[in-house]
Structure 1
């Protein structure tokens, strides 16, 4: 498990609407002065609503429960308000305070109400702020695609109305790019936010920016630079008394020292973060901190403490709907159970970790994030072109005022066509660049798919259950003093392992090696199941298996399914497995036939339907999709049918692959392949 993901807290800004929009005061007005004014103004009117909303905003990161109480009071006398913006602002304060406590379902309800009311009022700045807060909620739910779309929409609205609040959105967008590992883009938005904030000098913005930079450099592996920014962020957030961000700084310092393998110091920072998050009742951050502490205890060999913290982290991560925290906790629980020798539990949590990881970074969401990024950059440039065009028109008007009519006409016509040509050229270059980036992204995704499918194939062949069962069989032979059988089993297992590992380094291998690997696997499974079935391997004599090449690790999962889900459950007759390799119409046809219990019965007996859901079948289909890209003229396919013969059921699987020869050599029909039969 990588330390990179544990308790990583990129900072996103809460409640960009703030109390500035309520018309209350300037940022930085002391809390005591607001409390005094509130006490002196008991009337339930718009002024009291402004004061309550201001207090709710000031307290949302340090005392979210009080913030909720102040906003609730405003909602209680909503019928007496003349300015409904105050009610919309109260809805916003409800949303951001609940984000701090990780009550994301309630936060989404209040955020949606705020957006609906702001749209009804036609308040553009309020609409942008509400959209930004919804983006923050989806960010916390690890839905980065939806979050980025909301942040981009909010940034465009803030820029349209000329609001300085746009600087806050840039920090939120930097957090999204950091999550998807686009560190340069994240750094670009942070520096843009700091540059624009230099005009107003908002200490809260600077504190957020320092925290994000510290987290960013830690993720990139520059731990010293990361700690320098995190130390600066700690001081800056203490100045503005942002307790939520102080906890994030401590959590990120814990992650930083954990990566440096200073686990005891790391736990010290994590526990400081944990204490603050308990006061804030922030379930998500408590889960992340607990997971980080649990991982450190694994490294310190304090396994009982590790299990306590990791279990807590997983439980709270589920309640807070934090997929990334659940992923990290599951991965570390897998390591914990592996160390104590409970391999079944270790395998379970390892699978949970893989599923959660895939749900965060699936192919479609990555493509959508890339598209949103390109579209947003294009829109920004387009806005720049429009602004420049407006400036050009103003200059032409000035020439019309101070110059001759003829010069104005000539200049106007010339400028128009030059500007039109320039815009056309810029758009063409932008489109070409977008196409180039899209092609690069598709190439990277294809390489990633190929690597992942090969890894899945290796796992399908060398899964833990198979290895453990072979070792158990070996142990039985040893205990029975059957040294000959034990030695043969060791040789077969070693030969199979070597072939699988060697084949996994190649995208294409000879059919001879793949054929041998499948035979060795079946022989080992035959020993495992105490010779309860017969098997037959038959290859077309016209095929030269030493020259024909095919993708490795495609046949074994089909044979495994036939044995484990078909032959294994035969009630009252002897099983028969037949594996054949033939050639037809420029293709190789591999057929696996068993007389097992059949598809329908196997689906009922299994905890999950293996034909559609198993990793092996899914991995084969993925690799066939990739194979079609290399051989578009062929039609690689996989078909599975249930057969009924002589009153018995069975299954026939047909794998169709293109016939390819190594180094483009022709087939030698005189060479024969040895066929091995086991009874």
Structure 2
């Protein structure tokens, strides 16, 4: 008992006298219930208050109440763990385990083993964590007529083992553990357990690069955390969702979400979670070009990961710092960070460590499936005897087929990777060209004038249109194709917003042939906006008098859809002269990007696309505008 008292005294919690224990808790010390749930019912309001728990342990030692001591030690350990004080947490859980083993109290033995497994997993000590969690599961499953607390800890063990399988890259095996725990948590109606397991399944799918499935599970977990008002769970889910956005090349969406998480994460006190949020924030800022802030956040996140002894997060930060240095042109620094990340990765997953862990996995699984393994061994022996007869032929054939298959697979993956990178690059450039700061700033300024002039009706009207347009552009940027009806709605929203800045001087008409079903025809998403922008800002903006724009959609034939955009502007020649006289010149890349996107779109069809830009002239040679004709394949 003296060791326990000394350990608590060294942890730096504030002093609270045993006399401060409330009458309600005094009753608990008199009745001395033996089960976890009865103790938890009385002490639940205080279980994260280390000052209270310390005072309670002093009183429990005096009153010889061992179950109370074990409960309080484990609760203090959990609190220190959540503040990333892992050494203190381990000492408290070990003291609780020693005491519970002396009393042979299986409930508290299972609890202490599982909590030790959680702490060691958080510090990437995988083999030690797996050992503790498997011991907890084996003991919990051996209990006849288990209590509700034991049932919950079977699920905790499954969850922890699943997380360790996940660390080993055994994602399908991990998912099976989480799904088993998920079913059991549903029977217990434990929404916190449901939230945790949905989050963990999402993480596995994220690591398998199945990002949409991962996002669905993260959102399920977030909804459950919202339902039980679990702020800590919300932070974890939102950080995971932001990480998916980053992997889907949506850094702006990720940054908006991450910027709301830093302050509550710091208040929560979990340094490893705060570290992850800081690193992800830096990643998002790096992708949108805010390099100084990105470096600051990643470096701070790395520092916190080092202080918390979480090498996987240190490695994660180093990889992003390597990418950042590449963007800054510091190739030597980038290489140093990359090498450091690789060294940490090798330390975490060295061969001896993995072999030991795999041995533990096989040992555990063999205890569950002895009969199945025996049958499989017999079948394998029969197969081995048959194969031995034609061993040379099979070996040579397998090697040749494997070599050819490997070469073809590498060539295919290289081609696919290059193609995907090119498409992603085009989509990012497209989004930047359509969501350029100049357009956003001027649009909001125009709406601001309505507000200043107290024209509430128009302000609300155009603000609604502007928000719909931004949403359409963000949604469309992740789609390869969209319905013609949706594209025309986006076009109309864009023209409405742009027209505000011309005091509604632009008159536009959209004509669609009767035999075209706009709800069935598909075209590349957001393909018309760059041409309309050129027509407005290079054709109509410099024109005096009436400004007209005609958009016509018709079938050229059974193969191609023809979309023409005609303006009565100043023409390309005059527009170029105006551009040359401007002090600030901005190269327009929207049409070039659109041509590349159309080329990629046409690859899935039998026929090619075509774009014609025609200058229109009066009989006297004076320009009367420009006509753009897009021919997009439909088959």
Q: Does structure 1 retain, via aligned residues, the 8 Å contact 2:319–2:337?
A: yes
Unaligned runs of 5+ in 1: 1-36, 386-422, 436-446, 452-679
Equivalent in 78, 92, 99 of residue 81 of structure 2: 99
CA RMSD of aligned residues (A): 3.0
Tell whether 2:279 aligns with 1:291. yes
Alignment of 1:179-218 (within 5 A): 179-218=167-206
In structure 2, distance between residues paired with 1:323 and 1:240: 32
Cα offset for 1:71? Answer: 1.9
In structure 2, distance between residues paired with 1:193 and 1:341: 48
Equivalent in 107, 131, 136 of residue 149 of structure 1: 131
Distance 1:151 1:160, change over 3 A: same
Cα offset for 1:54? Answer: 4.7
Alignment of 1:21-40 (within 5 A): 40=24
Q: What's the counterpart of residue 216 of structure 2?
A: 228
Alignment of 1:552-571 (within 5 A): none
In structure 1, distance between residues paired with 2:226 and 2:101: 36
Cα offset for 1:47? Answer: 5.4
Distance 1:55 1:348, change over 3 A: farther
TM superposition score normalised by structure 2: 0.52
Distance 1:336 1:118, change over 3 A: same
Equivalent in 138, 146, 150 of residue 120 of structure 2: 138
TM superposition score normalised by structure 1: 0.49
Q: Does structure 1 retain, via aligned residues, the 8 Å contact 2:39–2:68?
A: no
Instruction: Tell me the SS of whatever aligns to 1:261.
Output: coil
Q: What's the counterpart of residue 538 of structure 2?
A: none
Tell whether 2:259 aligns with 1:271. yes
Alignment of 1:532-571 (within 5 A): none
Q: Does structure 2 retain, via aligned residues, the 8 Å contact 1:46–1:83?
A: no
Instruction: Tell me the SS of whatever aligns to 1:133.
Output: helix
Q: What's the counterpart of residue 293 of structure 2?
A: 305
Q: Which one scores higher on RCO, CA 8 angstroms, separation ≥ 6?
A: 1
In structure 2, distance between residues paired with 1:44 and 1:197: 29
Tell whether 2:172 aligns with 1:172. no
Cα offset for 1:244? Answer: 2.1
Instruction: Tell me the SS of whatever aligns to 2:369.
Output: helix
Distance 1:341 1:131, change over 3 A: same
Q: Does structure 2 retain, via aligned residues, the 8 Å contact 1:151–1:169?
A: yes
Q: What's the counterpart of residue 247 of structure 1?
A: 235
In structure 2, distance between residues paired with 1:153 and 1:135: 10
Distance 1:39 1:261, change over 3 A: farther
Unaligned runs of 5+ in 2: 1-20, 385-401, 407-635
In structure 2, distance between residues paired with 1:196 and 1:72: 34
Instruction: Tell me the SS of whatever aligns to 2:303.
Output: helix
Distance 1:169 1:425, change over 3 A: closer
Any idea what the Cα deviations from partners look like across 1:223-259, whole Å, max 9, x if unmatched?
2222222112112112223322221101111111111
Instruction: Tell me the SS of whatever aligns to 2:249.
Output: coil
Q: Does structure 1 retain, via aligned residues, the 8 Å contact 2:32–2:65?
A: no
Q: What's the counterpart of residue 45 of structure 1?
A: 29
Cα offset for 1:303? Answer: 0.7
Cα offset for 1:56? Answer: 6.0
Instruction: Tell me the SS of whatever aligns to 1:142.
Output: coil
Q: Larger deviation: 316-325 or 227-236?
A: 227-236
Q: Does structure 1 retain, via aligned residues, the 8 Å contact 2:120–2:126?
A: yes
Q: Does structure 2 retain, via aligned residues, the 8 Å contact 1:42–1:48?
A: no
Q: What's the counterpart of residue 75 of structure 1?
A: 57
Any idea what the Cα deviations from partners look like across 1:510-563, whole Å, max 9, x if unmatched?
xxxxxxxxxxxxxxxxxxxxxxxxxxxxxxxxxxxxxxxxxxxxxxxxxxxxxx
Equivalent in 249, 261, 280 of residue 249 of structure 2: 261
